[in-house]
Amino acid sequence: MRIDILTLFPGMFTGFLEGSLLGAARAAGLVDVRVRDIREFAEGPHRQVDDRPYGGGPGMLLMPGPVVDCVEAVQAEADAGRVVMLTPGGRRLDQALVEQLAKFERIVLVCGRYEGFDARIRETLDADEISIGDYVLSGGEVAAMVIVDAVARLLPGVLGHEASADQDSFSGADRLVEGPQYTRPREFRGLAVPEVLLSGDHGRIARWRREQSVAATSRRESASQTPFQRSTS
Contact yes or no for 130/137 (Cβ under 8 A): no
| Residue 88 amino acid letter | P
Q: 194 - beta bridge partners?
A: none
H-helix or E-strand spanning residue 212: helix 202-223
CB of 133 to ligand 6GU, least distance (A): 5
Minimum distance from CB of 134 to ligand 6GU (Å)?
Answer: 7
Give CA–CA dist 185/192, Å, rounded. 9
Whether the CB-CB separation of 82 and 109 falls below 8 Å is answered with no
Q: By CB under 6 A, is residue 173 in contact with ligand 6GU?
A: no
Q: How far apart are CA 64 and CA 70, in angstroms?
A: 10
115 is catalytic: yes
Reply yes or no on whether 126 is catalytic: no
- 168 in active site: yes
Q: Does 139 bind ligand 6GU (CB under 6 A)?
A: yes
Q: Which is nearer to ligand 6GU, 91 or 220 (CB)?
A: 91
Q: How far is the CB of 76 from ligand 6GU (least distance, A)?
A: 25
- Provide the 3-class DSSP secondary structure of residue 88: strand
Nearest approach, Cβ of residue 135 and ligand 6GU (Å):
5
Cα gap 143→151, rounded to integer Å: 12
Asked whether position 136 contacts ligand 6GU by CB under 6 A, the answer is: yes
Binding mask 65-104 for ligand 6GU (x = CB under 6 A): ---------------------xxx----------------
Nearest to 109 by CA among 81, 134, 88: 81
Residue 7 lies near ligand 6GU (rule: CB under 6 A): no
Q: Which residues bind ligand 6GU (CB under 6 A)?
A: 86-88, 112, 131-133, 135-137, 139-140, 143
Q: Which residues are catalytic?
A: 88, 115, 153, 168
